[in-house]
Copies of this chain bind each other. A is one copy, B any other.
């Protein structure tokens, strides 16, 4: 598939640079001017690819949310015991978070100022709700302790998982699989050494 016309950036190319800049300075603090500098373009060139700064954010958030929702739609999230399915979702979330690190990082910093941000937050809440239902199933099944509210459990679980964006950097000593193992180990078995 050969590209026609003058070579240069396409939407995805600009998106990657923009998301990196948004994560570095924050969305609001990233001006179209410095974004243009990092792209090696003029400000107005960006508007050939996107109609507004807001639209860049929208595309980025859509990519992150689509990947997360994809985990819940995988076969492993629909077969087996509730414990098995929850295990799959937790590991899948860690995997997506590592693979799409900049996009998910951006998603997790959205506060809900604009319509785009509010829509993204609503989609994220829907995702959390589906996970919470899975936690409830695992409690009913008897594999997860029932003395903690399901919503608190889900939030602590994803608090732990989401915090990975704050420090994980590709190429570090921990790869994604090892990280997922650690998260599941802490979440399910805890840190304490049994004192038989």
- Mark A residues whose CB is within 8 Å of B: 24-26, 28-29, 109, 111, 113, 142-145, 147-149, 152-153, 155-156, 158-164, 166-167, 173-174, 179, 182-183, 185-193, 195
Residues of B within 8 Å of A173, CB to CB, are: 149
Residues of B within 8 Å of A143, CB to CB, are: 192-193, 195
* Residue of B with least CB distance to A183: B156
Q: Given contacts A109-B109, A159-B162, A187-B190, could you give 9 more A-B pairs where the C-beta distance is less than 8 Å?
A: A25-B111, A143-B192, A144-B192, A144-B193, A148-B186, A152-B174, A153-B186, A159-B159, A160-B163
Question: Are B166 and A160 in contact (CB-based, < 8 A)?
Answer: no
The 7 residue pairs across chains A and B that have the minimum distance between CB atoms: A159-B163, A190-B190, A28-B28, A189-B190, A188-B192, A160-B160, A28-B29
Question: Are B160 and A156 in contact (CB-based, < 8 A)?
Answer: yes
Sample (21) of A-B pairs whose CB atoms are under 8 Å apart: A26-B26, A26-B111, A142-B193, A144-B192, A144-B193, A145-B192, A147-B185, A148-B182, A152-B179, A153-B191, A155-B163, A156-B183, A156-B186, A159-B161, A159-B162, A159-B166, A160-B160, A186-B190, A188-B191, A188-B192, A190-B190
